[in-house]
Amino acid sequence: MRLTIQMLISHGRVARKMGLGPESRINMLRNILTGLVRHERIETTRGRADEVRFYAEKLIDYAKKGDTDEKAMKMANFWLTEKDLIPKLFKVLAPRFETQPKAYTRMARIPNRENLDKAAMAVLEYKGNPFPPLQTAKRDNDLTLINQLLKGYREQRAQQAAAKRQDVL
Amino acid sequence: MNSSGFVCFLRRSLLQLECRIIQATGLDRQFAPALAVHGPSILPHPHDEQEVTSEPSFLDNVFWMAAPKKRRTIEINRTRRRDPSFMLKVKTNIEPCVECGHLKQKHILCGFCYEKIRKETALIRGQIKAMEGRPLNTPAQETLVLYDSESPWESDKDKRIVERNRKRPSWFSIY
């Protein structure tokens, strides 16, 4: 190919390069996706998790077409290297997300890896997995001043209401 | 009348011409034993001066290189070294985790809480592996994790149950 200056400048190019080339990138993503379908929650680097998300959701869209669809089976056969996961994909994951139109995966960032490389990591999971949830719903802390004052006010109102009922009786 | 002078002049010029020819041809030189002197030659050799024995060294052209003209003062040095672009950036996105109180970045999960979840997940996966027996043996069934003294509901009868021998942790609610 022509060795132009344009090859060195990459302004505005959003496609990520992973591994040794485009084929290597697809193989790597295929392995990660197989691991995700098997374990339903995996930890990888941020870039890889972000890339796999697209393919994971597209795979579920294909699986929703059903077992008998030719294209869907070909896709599942290509993307899942461990063939005992194909029944799991069609019989477990596709029915799980039947009511949802789009967002089947959740990605959250994790503190950097402990190794020397300090890689930025992320955890990627399919929603509805059996494992403990990553983020518990935020509950307001009862011990803050405002909440304590509100609690006292509520108790006072309850006492007043109880006293009024006593008077009426 | 100068006829005799003219004849003399002709004779002299002819003799000079003859001498020059003999010198040019080298017939005047007679090879005979002569005195040889050992030592530095006094007369300079004209052909050696034109030759360049060594290549022009790097230091010959030193006059074109950049060099500082003046000493950099300590004030100038300080302003360069303390420039904000080289200083460590202050992070304002660190806050304590609501659950455990350890510090975390706002857009990243708490390390301590995630570690707890990761360990529990690993133990659950160990149980699943023991249940499956051999590798590549995933059943086409949903999974449900139950802790001590918990029993599955009506809607859970199709799922495979993974038992964990401990009390249910507070951060792993059933719903």
Could you report the per-residue pLDDT of A21-34, keeping only the tens digit for each? 999 999 999 999 99
CA distance A3 to chain B (A): 34
Q: What are phi and psi of B96, to 5 degrees?
A: -80, 145
B109 inside 8 A of chain A by CB: yes
Record the tokens describing residue A98, joined without a space. 């039947």
What value does the CA radius of gyration of chain A take, rounded to a whole number of Å? 26
pTM over 0.95? The answer is: no
Write B125-130 long-range contacts (CB < 8 A, 24+): B125/A39, B127/B162, B127/B163, B127/B164, B128/B162
Residue with the bigger pLDDT between B30 and A56: it is A56
Record the tokens describing residue B17, joined without a space. 């011409």
CA distance A93 to chain B (A): 9
Q: Tell me whether strands B143-146 and B160-163 are parallel, antiparallel or unpaired.
A: parallel
CA distances from B39 to B33, B35, B36, B48 (A): 19, 13, 10, 17
Q: What 8-state DSSP symbol labels residue B58?
A: G
Residues of chain A positioned with their CB less than 8 A from the CB of B137:
84
- The answer to whether A47 and A16 have CB atoms below 8 angstroms apart is yes
Record the tokens describing residue A38, joined without a space. 């098997």
> Tens-digit pLDDT profile for chain B (175 aa)?
567 777 888 888 888 888 888 887 877 777 777 777 676 666 666 665 555 566 667 666 667 889 999 999 999 999 999 998 999 999 999 999 988 889 999 999 999 999 999 999 999 999 999 999 999 999 999 999 999 988 888 888 889 999 999 999 988 887 6
Residues of chain B positioned with their CB less than 8 A from the CB of A137:
none
Q: What 8-state DSSP symbol labels residue B62?
A: G
Q: What confidence score (pLDDT) does residue B80 get?
A: 93
| Cβ <8 Å between B138 and A123 | no
Q: Residue B152 and residue B121: Cα distance in Å, rounded?
A: 20
Alpha-carbon torsion B18, B21, B25, B28, what sign? positive
Query: Which is nearest to A82 in space by CA: B158, B134, B144, B118?
Result: B134
State the ipTM, two decimals.
Answer: 0.78
DSSP three-state, residue A99:
coil
B107 inside 8 A of chain A by CB: yes
